[in-house]
Structures are given as C-alpha cells and as structure tokens.
Amino acid sequence: MTLQYRVAGKVAIITFNRPPANAYNLAFFEQLLALINQAEDNGDVGCIIINSSSEKFFCAGADIKEFQANSTADNQLMVDKARETLAALDNCSKLVIAEIAGHALGGGLEIALACDLRFVAEGRYRFGLPEIKLGLMPGDGGTQRFTRLVGVAKALEWLASGDSFSVEQAEHMGLVNRVYPAEQLSQATLEYAQSVAKGPLLALKATKQAVYQGAALPLAEGLKVEQQLCDALYDTEDAKEGFLAFVEKREPRFQGK
C-alpha cells in the first residue's frame, strides 16, 4: 500500500510507504485524505502522527516524472486534491504531528507545514521548497504556512533561492518543535502523542481553534474567541472530571464529553 494506517491506543499513525522517496501522485493524496478523515471520525483518537517507512525520505514532493508526463488538466486534479488534503489537516480537530527523519522537500515539506507540530531526528537530511528552480512556486500552501512559522524575511530568503537547509537551520528558524536522536524519535513522538490523546479532547479541539483563529485576529477579537470557546467547556463532563480528579488527587479519566 502507498500509505499504511494503524491506531496505537488513542493515536492514529499514518505512514508514507511509496519507495524510493515517497514522491506523491493523485492516488497518494486520495488515500491520505481518506485516512485523515478516518482518524478525524474516530472519536477515540486524540492525536495523529504522520511519518515515513523510508530511512532517507519523509516525502520528496510530487513525482516529477509523472508530473511531466501528465497533461496540465491531470496535474491540476492532483494539485486540487493536495490542497483539499492539506485543508483537511488544517481543519482537523486532532493534534497532528509530522515525525520526520529524512528529506522533506517541496510538497513533502508542505505536508509537514500543514501539521500542527514537527518532531524531527538529528541527521544530515534536508528541508526545502525548491519549486522556483523549476520555474514554479509552492502551490500547496508553502508560501503561506512557511511564512507564518518563520517570518517574512526568513521565508522569502529560502523561497527565492529554492535552496535546501539543514535540521539545525530548521530548528534555529523555528520550523521544527523538537529534535531527537534518530533512534529515539519514534518513541518520543508516540509518547508525546499519547500524553496529549489521553487528555480532554473537547478542550484540545477548542484550544487548537482558539490558537489558529486568534492568530489571524487582532488581540481584542482573539480574546473574544478564546472567551467563547473557554466558557463552553465549563459544563462538560471532562471539566467536571478534571476538577474532581484534582480534588481527589488522582489521574483524571476523560471521556471527550
């Protein structure tokens, strides 16, 4: 299969498995979108990890040979499906983590940018948005999500050249959240995901919504969004359980209600 899917406790894990470089095509994104929706619809899942079975590549972006051979109309279908898929990541109520231990280039990096967090391995692999070297530009949100993460000047520096950059540079500019030794990455990512997923999922969904909506608003309007979302949580079963567990000095047992 091009992609693999499994659930570990309350964590859904989507694994890219299209050797040699996980280069994508239309079928790849059709399957990825279906798996994202499957995880979103599973009420027991609180977190999604997207990773790769390859030791060298997270995702190399579009399959260039196939892209060149296709008609413009066929390629537009793939691009449209890619944009729909990344929008599904944007709108996902679960926390989505890209677990990266190999090259993330072009559209592959755009997938990672659409995730909420990026946990990566130490190593000599590269990140980059090289589309300008093909006479193009990132078209799956790369110019927008990259800029929002690293700032206008830094984003334009790399977008204009199309050059790739290292793990250390990615960490320095704030593109990645955590860097682990390669042998520890999968376990550390899963442990973090499980800790989040066992929490109150209604509060997690509201927190994501507050962060993303508020970031695009003036402070006063963002505070109103936070207030509305926060106030709606007070009467939930999870909030009652959280307070009761605190008083009883025990671990809470959240139900997502």
On whether the CB atoms of residues 13 and 192 are closer than 8 A, the answer is no
As annotated, the active-site residues are 110, 131
Cβ-Cβ contacts under 8 Å for 254 (sequence gap 6 or more): 198, 199, 200, 201, 238, 241, 242
pLDDT (0 to 100) of residue 70: 86
Helix 219-231 to helix 201-215 angle (10° resolution) is 170
CA atoms lying within 13 Å on the CB side of residue 137? 9
pLDDT (0 to 100) of residue 81: 96
Helix 142-150 to helix 152-161 angle (10° resolution) is 140
Intra-chain end-to-end CA distance of the chain, in Å: 35
**DSSP per-residue codes, 235-253:** TSHHHHHHHHHHHHTS---
Outline where 42-103 has alpha helix (H).
64-69, 72-91
d(CA 188, CA 131): 32
Tokens describing residue 65: 């040979």
Extract the residue ranges of the chain whose pLDDT is less than 70. Answer: none
DSSP code at position 52: E
Report which secondary-structure segment, H or E, holds 149.
helix 142-150
pLDDT (0 to 100) of residue 65: 85
Evaluated on CA atoms 2, 128, 189, 12, the torsion sign reads negative
pLDDT (0 to 100) of residue 126: 98
Tell me what the pLDDT averaged over the chain comes to: 95
pLDDT (0 to 100) of residue 64: 83
